[in-house]
Amino acid sequence: MFSIFDLSLQLNAFPIRKAKSDLDKIVALSPTEKKQFIENQKQAIVKYHLENNTFYQKLVGSKDCKNWEDLPILNKTNLQVPLKSRLSEGFTLKNSYTNKTSGSSGEPFIFAKDKYTHALTWASNMYRFGWFGIDFNHSLQARFYGIPLDFIGNKKERIKDFLAHRYRFHIFDLSDVVLEKMVEKFQHKKFEYLNGYTSSIVLFAKFLRKRNLILKQICPSLKVCMVTSEMLFEEDRILLETQFGIPVVNEYGASELDLIAFENPQGEWQINSETLFVEIVDENNQVLPYGQEGRIVITSLFNKAHPFIRYDIGDIGILDEKSTLDKPILKQLIGRTNDIAVLPSGKKSPGLTFYYVTKSIIEDDGNVKEFVIKQRKIDHFEIEYVSETTLDLAQILKIEQAITLYLEPDLHFTFIRKNSLERTARGKLKQFTSFL
């Protein structure tokens, strides 16, 4: 029997019943059967697009791709052409699911999925959230996401929220007055889980700490908190688990693909190997062994409307040494490929290095709520921060000394205190940006 969320998908021609049934069969495969299934799907999706998609045919060209590794890496620059020219034969803007990426990578684009693949995405979400006792048809979600501010876009999202049992908190204003109203909402609604952008949920937890409140005591129905889209630092996880009184689950996904990795009940960041195939490659596009750091390249195993085959998502990560083809584990997500700081010595360092170094120092006394780092020149960085009081000279010197120790000397910093930090249209906080 359908519940309202499943029914809404089915009425919009997304075959959720079939998708759930098919996903259950994939999950039930033995490790040997799963490996064969993945290989079969890889070959099938490539064959389909080579026969039905002129965009992909041109990308592959006249190359004789006898081996999987011979196939070209698809990047976001390739996708900066009209969507119509990228669709497979028989698919249109009307009979496909289309959407736009958030643009947090700096390269937004419109993408498409066939309706079955979009239904599989939802089935995949439901399956993984179910590990923690969450049912999309019945569990009420406290949603910490952005929302379109135009009338039509806003109403569409509100309708989706109603159908998916979600109450959306407005994260573009996270002042104490607004956070206090959020606490009141948790007193009156039987939320089962929180889901949303890491930075916004962390800010809410800091407010609870300041008020000496535990969210589970305010809202006893809470089971779990899922954070997504931004880095979850270990000290932030501890903060969330302490102030919420519930487990915290780390999610890694992409709207154009699916949930890529989802923390399982054993604490492993388990890659979705049911609908995706994930590889780590080096700067020469050679596949790296488990345990080595490189670019994350992903294949959507089912999407016939649009090819995402060996797609460079723009992130850097490491697959755990204990990974297997049927159960890969994401050991570490390091950041985005365009978030690399180039230093005067020629050294290259992930922008998040600055964030790690400054974070522990800058938050010692809980004064600083949030901050971002921007590289304006090769030796000059701006640190924008939101705080109750201005950073003093001792704090600034401590940060500069730590950066000299971990990176290199003679880097210059400007500290800019702000009332709020700039977020993307969807409410994401970009923690490091290089303007070089």
pLDDT digits (tens, 9 = 90+) for 87-120: 999 999 999 999 887 555 445 678 999 999 999 9
Q: Which of 311, 336, 361 is the last residue of a domain?
A: 336
Burial pattern 88-117, b for ≥16 Cβ within 10 A else e, equals beebeeeebbbeebbebbeebbbbbbbbbb
Residue 192 inside a domain? The answer is: no
Residue 269 inside a domain? The answer is: yes
The domain tally of the chain equals: 2
295 and 245 in a common domain: yes
358 and 320 in a common domain: no
What is the chain's mean pLDDT, rounded?
89
Residue 280 inside a domain? The answer is: yes
* Confidence (pLDDT) at 11: 85
Residue 178 inside a domain? The answer is: no
Residue 50 inside a domain? The answer is: yes
363 and 249 in a common domain: no
Residues of the chain above pLDDT 90, percent:
58
Record the tokens describing residue 302, joined without a space: 């089912």
Residue 124 inside a domain? The answer is: yes
305 and 270 in a common domain: yes
**Burial degree of 267 (CB within 10 A; 0-12, 13-18, 19+):** exposed
Residue 182 inside a domain? The answer is: no
Phi/psi for 382 (5° steps) reads -110, 135
Q: Categorize the per-residue pLDDT at 336 as very low, low, confident or very high, splitting at 50, 70 and 90.
A: low
132 and 28 in a common domain: yes
Residues of the chain above pLDDT 70, percent:
93
Q: Is the separation of the CB atoms in 218 and 211 below 8 Å?
A: no
Place of tokens 């702000």: 418
Q: Categorize the per-residue pLDDT at 2 as very low, low, confident or very high, splitting at 50, 70 and 90.
A: low
426 and 345 in a common domain: yes
Record the tokens describing residue 169, joined without a space: 């908190």
Residue 347 inside a domain? The answer is: yes
Cα–Cα distance, 14 to 96 (Å, whole number): 10
Give me the mean pLDDT over the 24-46 stretch.
97
356 and 302 in a common domain: no
What's 414's domain CATH number? 3.30.300.30
Cα–Cα distance, 307 to 58 (Å, whole number): 12
User: What range does the domain containing 104 cover?
Assistant: 4-139+223-336
**Burial degree of 51 (CB within 10 A; 0-12, 13-18, 19+):** exposed
Question: In the predicted model, is pLDDT for residue 226 greater than 90?
Answer: yes
pLDDT digits (tens, 9 = 90+) for 369-396: 888 889 999 999 999 988 888 988 888 8
Q: Which of 336, 371, 401 is the last residue of a domain?
A: 336
357 and 330 in a common domain: no
Cα–Cα distance, 235 to 170 (Å, whole number): 25
What's 292's domain CATH number? 3.40.50.12780
**pTM for this predicted structure:** 0.82
Q: Which of 336, 367, 382 is the last residue of a domain?
A: 336
- Our separate counts of H helices and E strands in the chain read 12, 19
347 and 282 in a common domain: no
pLDDT digits (tens, 9 = 90+) for 280-320: 999 999 999 999 999 999 999 999 999 999 999 988 899 99
pLDDT digits (tens, 9 = 90+) for 119-132: 999 999 999 999 99
111 and 56 in a common domain: yes
Lowest mean pLDDT among 154-163, 192-201, 232-241: 154-163
246 and 132 in a common domain: yes
Q: Categorize the per-residue pLDDT at 364 as very low, low, confident or very high, splitting at 50, 70 and 90.
A: low
Q: Categorize the per-residue pLDDT at 343 as very low, low, confident or very high, splitting at 50, 70 and 90.
A: confident
310 and 250 in a common domain: yes
